[in-house]
Amino acid sequence: MIYIVFMQRISVHISNETKQKIDLAAKAKNKIEAELIREAIDAGLKVIYPKLNSAKALLELARMAKKLPSDDKEPTDVSEDTAKYAFGNK
C-alpha cells in the first residue's frame, strides 16, 4: 500500500550551533536532516499541545458545562429520559 503525504515547505533561520547539532544528530541516527527536523518539531508540538485521552476530554467537557449559565427549569439528569429531551414530548 502506498501513502502519499503532501508537505509544506518552510524556511527557518537557525544558528550555526543548531545547524551543527542537526548535522551530527542526522549522521548519528542515519537520517536525512529534514526527517530529523520534522520528528523534532512533532515531538515539541506534542509537549505544547498534548492529546487529551477520552476520559480527560470528558472531564474537561464537564468542567466547561459547569460554567454555562443555567436556571432551575433545566433537568438535572438528562440520561434518564433521553428521547424526551432529544425529540420532545411525543
**Position 2 pLDDT exceeds 80:** no
Per-residue 3-state assignment (H helix, E strand, C coil) for 16-85: HHHHHHHHHHHHHHCCCHHHHHHHHHHHHHHHHCCCCCHHHHHHHHHHHHHCCCCCCCCCCCHHHHHHHH
What's the predicted TM-score (pTM) here? 0.52
* Per-residue cell: 13: 533561520
Q: What is the mean pLDDT of residues 52-72?
A: 82
pLDDT digits (tens, 9 = 90+) for 76-88: 766 777 777 777 7
Q: Enumerate the domain spans of the chain.
A: 16-66
Give the per-residue pLDDT at 30.
96
**Position 37 pLDDT exceeds 90:** yes
Percent of the chain's residues with pLDDT above 90 = 39
Q: Let me know how long the chain is.
A: 90
Q: What is the mean pLDDT of residues 45-73?
A: 81
pLDDT digits (tens, 9 = 90+) for 3-34: 677 889 999 999 999 999 999 999 999 999 99
